[in-house]
Structure 1
Amino acid sequence: MRRGGFPLLWVWLVYGFMYLPIAVIALFSFNASEIIAFPLQGFTLHWFGQVLADARLGKGLGLSFLVSVPVAALATLFGAMAALALTRYPLRGRGVLFAVILLPFLIPKVILAVAQLILLSELKIERSLATIIAGQAIIILPFTTLIIASVLVRIDRRLEEAAADLGASGWSTFRRVTLPLMKNGLTAAWFIAFVLSSSEYVLTSFLSGRYQPLSILVASDFRFNISPALNALALMIVAVNLAFIAIGEFIRLRSKQA
């Protein structure tokens, strides 16, 4: 017990270091005082109401949805295509393709953002929501590819072979057999991509131009004024993201058991 207890203590210390700041933000989001300091002055939901009534934050949230929804769709679509290529076809250079897909995992986001900004400048493309969508889809593609590939490798290939033996074409086999079996993986990948897109700041700050999604607004406000309303907003974002992640993980586990 003693040998196992010491590593377990370190694990809990690491988790505490990661999540204690979030717990502090949650605590002060319900504090009645405008000063973020102990002791607490009472319980209030005023800051949540202030966030919901802020038109500027509402506009930023709307822009975030305009970015996150197409990013999730594109990343899921291309991730599915990449996962199918890696798991279903005897491709030459499969390892090279896999490495290229995973490159955004290995390259720091700042370098990717600067490289994309230079490319846009050379091509004379003005920064807009479209450039944010394209840039985010690239860095989120590895996540969706791995999620969908993990589902595809568990599908019994004999089901597809049986459909082919019964005279089904390649497209018909995919539409009637493979696609229904990978449906849960696609849904989980879409949810994860949506969460990653909505919380992405580094790449968005380089490619947004005059547009300000919610992540940019929140980061800007935190630089100049740490208001309890921002604590409330941060807690709301964390709660929504956790809900999306939980839904995606539930769908992934269901696909694993299928």
Structure 2
Amino acid sequence: MSRLGTLWVCLVFGFMYLPIAMIALFSVNASDVMAFPLTGVTGQWFAEILGDGRLGGGFLTTLAVAFPVALLTTLLGAAAALALTFYATRFRVLFAALLLLPFLVPRLILAVAQLILFKELGVSRSLLTVIAGQSVIILPFTTVIVASVLIRIDRRLIEAAADLGASGWCSFRRVVLPLMGNGLMAAWVIAFVLSSSEYVLTAFLSGRQQALSVLVASDFRFDLSPSLNALAVLIVLGNIALVVIAEAIRHRAGRLN
């Protein structure tokens, strides 16, 4: 790579990660004023976050939404990806367009539309409405991720399994499913991260139980506390840990296979 290319890559990565680095820096600043020069190093803001029961409850609510959303969208995305890549149907293009439509609609419009729909159906706002609403917008991501794995599977492996007497279900269970395992894990991780960080739909569709994203956004409107920087650092570290765990599981499964 040329020097100009290397410089460009460094600038792009700097643009991406410099704000996170600044948040991490101010999360250990002893002053409650987020400005230079720094006055010292402290862990006070992390202690405040870890001792805040309100934010702890919001974190548990986020997990209560993110886990089922990730599981549901991964399963539905896998089924949709199989339908798009393995089965030649007349309405494949229309089906793909309908799947990707929620991704193209502005989030605010989609949130208002879902809120009106639930109200007309007489469904009260709760975590179930949040799970349903988030699943609609995350499903396109999981479908694309799993489909990108399925289209690279050599169909001759399935034909060979059929020649050896394997049924359609047996071929799927013993050939296709193991090969799409990495895609399923990647889809679940992406869905979990997207669900835990979703704000617009969560704010519109949630009831009395507020997720962490809604609580943090509310705090930002009234008080820009350094403890929120500490919370942001913990969230970033949690996402990194999730990716590392998923990658470790993938490597372990690869060695066992």
TM-score > 0.5, shorter chain as reference:
yes
3-state SS in 2 of match to 1:34: coil
Q: 1:104 to 1:252 in 2, by over 3 A?
A: farther
Greater Cα offset, 230-239 or 162-171? 162-171
Distance 2:133 2:210 in 1: 15
- Structure 2 counterparts to residues 169-180 of structure 1, below 5 A: 169-180=167-178
Q: Tell me which residue corresponds to 2:100.
A: 102
State whether structure 2 residue 134 is matched by structure 1 residue 150: no
Residues 178/216 of structure 1: CA separation in 2 closer, same or farther (3 Å cut): same
- Mapped to 2, the partners of 1:93 and 1:21 lie a distance apart of 45
TM-score of the two chains, using structure 1 as the length reference: 0.90
Amino acid at match of 2:73: A
Deviation per residue, 1:66-117 (Å, 9 max, x gap): 0000000000000000000011111111111111111122111111111101
Alignment of 1:158-237 (within 5 A): 158-237=156-235
1:241 maps to 239
1:60 is matched with which residue?
58
Change (3 A) 1:71 1:58: same
Q: CA deviation at 1:211?
A: 1.6
- State the secondary structure of the residue aligned to 1:212: coil
Distance across 2 between alignment mates of 1:173 and 1:11: 44
Partners of 1:168 and 1:9 in 2: CA distance: 54
Match of 1:33 in 2: 31
**RMSD between aligned alpha carbons?**
2.4
Q: Give the secondary-structure state (helix, strand or coil) at the position aligned to 1:233.
A: helix
Unaligned 5+ runs, structure 2: none
Equivalence for 1:113: 111
Residue from 69, 72, 90 that aligns with 1:71: 69
C-alpha distance in 1, partners of 2:72/2:29?
41
Indicate the residue corresponding to 1:135 in structure 2.
133
Q: 1:184·1:254 contact (CA, 8 Å) conserved in 2?
A: no
Q: Distance in 2 between matches of 1:203 and 1:254?
A: 36
User: After the TM superposition, which segments of 4 or more aligned residues of structure 1 sit over 4 Å from their partners?
Assistant: 7-15, 245-255
The answer on whether the counterparts of 1:189 and 1:248 sit within 8 Å (CA) in structure 2 is: no
Aligned length: 255
TM-score (norm 2): 0.91
Instruction: Single out whichever of 106-115 and 12-21 deviates more from structure 2.
Output: 12-21
Cα offset, 1:160, TM superposition = 1.1
**103-112 vs 70-79, which deviates more?**
103-112
2: CA distance, partners of 1:252 / 1:188? 10
Percent identity between the aligned chains? 66
SS in 1 for 2:119: helix
Per the TM alignment, residue 242 of structure 1 is displaced from its structure 2 partner at its CA by 3.2
Q: Distance in 2 between matches of 1:93 and 1:254?
A: 39
Task: Please tell me whether the aligned partners of residues 188 and 252 of structure 1 are also in contact (alpha carbons under 8 angstroms).
Answer: no
Candidates 40, 43, 58, aligned match of 1:42? 40
Distance in 1, Cα, partners of 2:19 & 2:247: 24
- Distance in 1, Cα, partners of 2:189 & 2:83: 22
Q: List per-residue Cα deviations over 1:166-224 (Å, max 9, x = no partner).
A: 22221111112111111111111101110110011111111112220111111111111
Q: How many angstroms does 1:22 deviate by?
A: 2.0
Residue type of the alignment partner of 1:131: T
